[in-house]
Homo-oligomer: A and B are copies of this chain.
Amino acid sequence: MATMDDIARRLGVSKGTVSKALSGAADVSETMRKSVVETAVEIGYSRIARGASGKRLCVFVNNMAYEKPDDFGWDIITGFRKMAEPTDYQVDIIPFNEQMQKESRYDEFMLRHNYLGAVFLGLTLLDPWMKDFQSCTTPAVLYDNHVQSNPAVTHLGIDNDEGMEMAVARLVELGHRKIGYLSSALGSYVYQARYASFFHALRQFKLDAHQYMAGYAYRSSDCLAKHLPRLLDKGCTAVICSHDLLAHTLLIHCAELGLRVPEDLSVVGIDDLPLCRYTSPPLTTIRQDRTQLGKSAFYALSSLIEHVPISTLLLHAELIERASTGPAPV
């Protein structure tokens, strides 16, 4: 385990200078501070190992609304805080972007700002730090993203296989035999995972699992224009969507086409956003319990900090049945 002495020796400075640089003291030059932090990262010096005095964690957010109670991220962050703050952790919420990821490596950022660990909400596969997570030493819990073989990183999410199986099982029970899937572009881990889970579930129930039963596109309108006609053509009587907002767009589109939901087509979303109760008809969906995700994020992060190397922590999915699903048309 690297120590401040190791950093001092490497740079040929005193341990006092290293200590001051790491604590951000004013009488250390910016150049020295930078060298110290870079060396610290390079040799794997970690605040955790040294028992930092301030217990600070952060939640990085991007591509996700979180500022109002109805936003997707609100409950996750609230759940996290509810666990972290009573145990004396200070939690900062940090909107992140590509620029800041390019400016410094993840470990460097965390060391410089004195954070023990972080939760990431809304990462995509294109985020520069995704590469850092393969070898970083500062604990990171990635919501809906998976990085293999680094004991400092945990994948947190819901059990997509289970959720998809529940949805397909219920549709089969309702008499559906041709089930389609519409998805956002596969540029994020979770959309890839759900896509795979969908076909896995079809095969489990011995339904037609040909590639033409699914389609994806970056924009919802493109996705519907490009793939819905084919799904209907193939005889689909039910469509599962990769997220509630896409399902909501599908409901509106069906109304425009004169397709009755659920009489002509059953529609299922994923997420259980607050809006699901208010769509027309109210949306059946695979629920992600966001408060529990937030609480679990804290469990996972505090485990990593205590050197329990959690690789994957998945919550059970739940199928919430509302009016957008019904018996298959005869």
Contact = CB atoms under 8 A, between A and B. Distances in A.
Interface of A: 148-151, 158-159, 161-162, 165-166, 289, 292, 295-296, 299, 303, 306-318
B311 A310 contact: no
Contacts of A295: 303, 306, 308
Contacts of A307: 292
B313 A312 contact: yes
Given A149-B166, A165-B148, A303 B296 contact: yes
A200 to B, nearest CB: 12
A309 B303 contact: no
Contacts of A303: 295-296, 299
B314 A312 contact: yes
Given A148-B165, A162-B149, A308-B292, A313 B316 contact: no
A151 B149 CA distance: 28
Contacts of A296: 303, 308, 310
22 contacts: A148-B159, A148-B161, A148-B165, A149-B162, A149-B165, A150-B316, A159-B311, A162-B311, A292-B307, A292-B309, A295-B306, A295-B308, A296-B310, A299-B303, A310-B313, A310-B316, A311-B314, A311-B315, A311-B316, A311-B317, A312-B313, A312-B314
Contact of A316 (B161, B165, B309, B315): B309
A146 to B, nearest CB: 10
Most buried by B among A148, A161, A166, A306: A148
A158 B292 contact: no
Nearest to A312: B314
Contacts of A165: 148-149
Most buried by B among A149, A165, A166, A307: A149
A175 B10 CA distance: 36
Lowest 10 A-B CB distances belong to which pairs? A312-B314, A309-B316, A159-B311, A311-B316, A311-B314, A151-B316, A148-B162, A292-B308, A295-B308, A313-B313
Given A166-B149, A303-B299, A310 B318 contact: no
Nearest to A291: B308
A241 B149 CA distance: 20
Nearest to A293: B308
A309 B299 contact: no
A134 B148 CA distance: 30
A316 B147 CA distance: 10
Nearest to A79: B308
A318 B151 contact: yes
A317 B292 CA distance: 26
A123 B166 CA distance: 25
A132 to B, nearest CB: 17
Nearest to A304: B316
Given A148-B165, A295-B303, A296-B303, 17 more contacts: A148-B159, A149-B165, A149-B316, A151-B316, A151-B318, A158-B311, A292-B307, A292-B309, A296-B308, A299-B303, A309-B316, A310-B313, A310-B316, A311-B316, A312-B314, A313-B313, A313-B314
